[in-house]
Chains A and B, each alone.
Chain A
Amino acid sequence: MIGLPLDTPIEILLRELTPQVLGAVIRRFHDFSSAEDAVQEALIAAVGQWARDGVPANPRGWLIQVACRRMTDHIRSESARRRRENQMLAEKPHVVEPSTTDAAQEEEYDTLVLLFMCCHPALTPASAIALTLRAVGGLTTAEIAHAFLVPEATMAQRISRAKQTIKSSGIPFQLPTAEERAQRQRAVLHVLYLIFNEGYTSSGGADLRRADLSMEAIRLMRIVHSLQPHDPEVAGLLVLMLLTDARRLARTNEAGELVSLMQQDRSRWDAQQIAEGIALLSRTLPQGAVGPYQLQAAIAAVHDEAAKAEDTDWPQILALYELLKRMSDNPMVSLNYAIAAAMVNGPTKGLELVDALEADTRLADHHRLDAVRAHLLELAGDHMAAIRHYRAAAGKTGNLPERNYLLTQAARLSNEPQK
């Protein structure tokens, strides 16, 4: 079912309604874990019944009613079990009503609260991703398992443990406090970024199903943006996703091989998506409060705005990486900065910066260090050393298409006469 182009209108509608329905059921029963199961059952019932009998007049109300009925059944059997065990547990309601009575605002509030809950820092990234895709994205466990190439039972277990963690940590069903908000927001954006990357970094062909994770991440990101239109980092991440995803078709050639950004056929980039991303970025940057996602989006925009690779405004990219470097102590940023510096000031300057990164233990044994060095050595004309580092990088990467790419670069240089 995952994959928007293949989706029926009913599936699209169900995904939109999932977080709203789940929020309403949690509000009534104060139990995230059981409510989530009940809503999944209601969704599955809807797929069959709506396709047969047509979509009801009030689909959201229909789903809430079916899910609540499941909840009532569940509570009845639970309390029967408890009576048998002769233990009565007082359930503390963990719910705070929103301060508004407006139904539309209530739906929005519920979706946002759910998202904060699913991306809670108490969860491992893998658990948060799975829970977000199910509870907010409305995907089935089987679909998530397929997308991550693990057995369905494993994914079910991961989701169930995540729900258990939320239950036992007593996280209330409400928005984080003002003090917590920034940190929790970062966690939400990070989870959505990881979902996007998981899809984006998988190649085409047999992996198309996984690539749809990027589309799902963009869909969720649009919802988050519509709920918080004035948060510039939310807009920044949405732009970053749009501008990165716009290059998807050009990333691989007919043979399925990776094509580097500078070699890509730019006529295959999605011009409409680039225009949308850049327009949103232009509205966002003047708001001030520039953060890492906006900077990465701005870098992507500079690349996407160049009609030809040689038109790329490298001085601007260098300046943006300089800002990003000041904002986050991330060696990958420093590595990208070195590439930009090489493009502006020549490969020798870039190689000096790469040398300085050699001591960073976080990069030790990372293939990107060798790959960047190889690229810069090639630019500097030292093909023998470049070949050595392309091969060293190939030995360290965990990605099959990237290993093929790096070995191909080494082979290409080996076949060329030394300059």
Chain B
Amino acid sequence: MKYILMMNGSKSNFEAYAKWSKEDLQRNTAFMRAFSKELKDSGVFVAAEGLAFPDRAKLVRADSDGEPITDGVFPESKEFLAGYWIVDVESAEQAYRIAARASMAPGPGETRGTMPIEVREVLSGAPKDLL
């Protein structure tokens, strides 16, 4: 079963992150690199990506000619996706354990992270026979 583990943050979370000290950033980056290697070594890694800051994120719709209309004014409270991992595991519990590890990514000032990780199942192919 595949699960996606998502890190979300508000604009103010991203702004605070951008002001971390060099040491804090290095600790966090080292953790993320080690975490990614852990997933690969244990044979559960499917994919992972980090996303650009939401500063220039746009909402796009089509106008009557199908041309894009972009909109970029978001309410302060909106949560943005910061990055994600997709893992292939035996159970939801195993996905939660991995998410808990991700949640411990070090925060500023040598604190242990408490970032919530949203875990969702990735839909798979067809099920067994239906009656």
Q: Which residues of A contact B (CB under 8 A)?
A: 124-127, 148-151, 153-155, 157-158, 161, 197, 200-203, 207, 210, 244, 247, 251-252, 258, 260-262, 336, 339, 371-372, 375, 397-403, 405
Contacts and interface: CB of A to CB of B under 8 A. Distances in A.
Contacts of A260: 130-131
A398 B124 CA distance: 6
A339 B131 CA distance: 8
Interface in B1-29: 1-2
A47 B127 CA distance: 35
A12 to B, nearest CB: 26
Contact of A261 (B121, B127, B129): B129
A401 B90 contact: no
Contacts of A399: 123-127
A201 B121 contact: no
Contact of A398 (B1, B43, B128): B1
Question: Which residue, of A157, A262, A372, has the highest number of chain B Cβ atoms within 10 A?
Answer: A157
> DSSP class of A's interface residues: helix, strand, loop or mixed?
helix
Contact of B42 (A149, A161, A251): A161
Nearest to B128: A201
Interface residues of B, number: 22
A375 B24 CA distance: 56
A4 B125 CA distance: 21
B125 A203 contact: yes
Contact of A403 (B42, B43, B90, B123): B123
B45 interface: yes
Contacts of B71: none
A375 B88 CA distance: 32
Nearest to B86: A150
A397 B121 CA distance: 9
28 contacts: A126-B88, A126-B90, A127-B43, A149-B46, A150-B46, A151-B45, A153-B45, A154-B44, A157-B40, A158-B43, A201-B127, A202-B125, A207-B125, A244-B129, A247-B129, A252-B126, A258-B127, A258-B130, A261-B130, A262-B131, A336-B131, A339-B131, A375-B131, A397-B127, A398-B124, A400-B124, A400-B125, A403-B123
A125 B90 contact: yes
Interface string B39-62: 011111111000000000000000
Contacts, number: 85
Interface in B98-131: 121, 123-131
Contacts of A402: 126-127, 130
Nearest to A125: B90
A210 B126 contact: no
Contact of A154 (B43, B126, B127, B128): B43
Contacts of A157: 40-43
Given A251-B126, A258-B126, A262-B131, 17 more contacts: A150-B88, A151-B47, A153-B45, A154-B44, A197-B128, A201-B125, A203-B126, A207-B125, A258-B127, A258-B130, A260-B130, A260-B131, A397-B127, A399-B124, A400-B125, A401-B125, A405-B130
Contacts of B46: 149-151, 154
A150 B88 CA distance: 8
Nearest to A162: B43
A258 B44 CA distance: 29
Contacts of A126: 43, 88, 90
A274 to B, nearest CB: 15
B111 to A, nearest CB: 32
Contacts of B125: 201-203, 207, 210, 399-401
A76 B46 CA distance: 36
Interface in B63-103: 88, 90
A296 to B, nearest CB: 11
A157 B44 CA distance: 9
B51 to A, nearest CB: 20
A124 B1 contact: no
A215 to B, nearest CB: 16
A405 to B, nearest CB: 7
Select the residue from A161, A207, A400 with max chain B CB neighbours within 10 A. Answer: A400
B128 A200 contact: yes
A261 B128 CA distance: 11
A312 to B, nearest CB: 10
Given A126-B90, A398-B121, A161 B129 contact: no
